[in-house]
Amino acid sequence: MQTLADLADWAEQAGIPALAGTQATLDAARELRETLFRSFLAALDEHPPDLRSVSICQADNYGRLFLDRRHLRRWCTKEGCGNRAKAARHYQRVKARRAPPSHAIEV
Ligand SMILES: [Zn+2]
C-alpha cells in the first residue's frame, strides 16, 4: 500500500465504506498493517499453524490465503469474493445468451 489509490482499493476490498483518502489516513493504515503483521509473526512463533489447512482464494488474482481445515471453500469470504465471482459468472452467462450465434448472418 503505497498510494492513496492503493488505500482506496484496500478499503473497498475490506468492505470499509467511505474511508477518507488523506495522507494521514494512508500513514495510519500502513502503521496499523505493519503492527498487525508484527503481531502475526509473533503469534506464528508461539503457535505455528498447520499449513495443510491453508487454501488460496480462487477469486483473487494475488492469491489471498485463508484457513480451511476441510478444504471445502473456494473463496476467502463468501460475502466478498464469493459473491463477486458468482455475479461475474452470472454476467457472463447473461452476456452469452444475448450474443448472436457466431454463424448468424447480419443483414
Ligand atoms: Zn478472496
Q: Averaged over 70-82, what is the pLDDT?
A: 92
Same domain, 63 and 92: yes
CA distance 8 to 12: 6
Q: Distance, CA 54 to ligand 1 centroid (Å)?
A: 13
Ion ligand 1, residue ranges at CB < 5 A: 57, 59-60, 64, 75-76, 81
Q: Where are any strands of DSSP class E within 20-95? A: 54-56, 65-67
Domain boundary pick from 48, 66, 82: 48
Number of domains in the chain: 2
Average pLDDT of the residues of the chain: 84
Higher pLDDT, 17 or 23: 23
Same domain, 56 and 73: yes
Q: What is the pTM of this model?
A: 0.46
pLDDT of residue 55: 92
* pLDDT one-digit tens code per residue, 39-63: 988 988 898 878 888 999 998 777 8
Does the pLDDT of residue 107 top 60, yes or no? Answer: no
CA distance 76 to 71: 11
Same domain, 55 and 44: no
Q: Distance, CA 63 to ligand 1 centroid (Å)?
A: 8
**Which domain covers residue 8, as residue numbers?**
1-48
Residue 104 resides in a domain = no
Residue type for position 35: T
Higher pLDDT, 91 or 1: 91
Q: Distance, CA 106 to ligand 1 centroid (Å)?
A: 42
Q: Distance, CA 35 to ligand 1 centroid (Å)?
A: 22
pLDDT of residue 78: 92
Same domain, 80 and 92: yes
Q: Distance, CA 97 to ligand 1 centroid (Å)?
A: 28
Q: Averaged over 80-95, what is the pLDDT?
A: 92
Residue 55 resides in a domain = yes
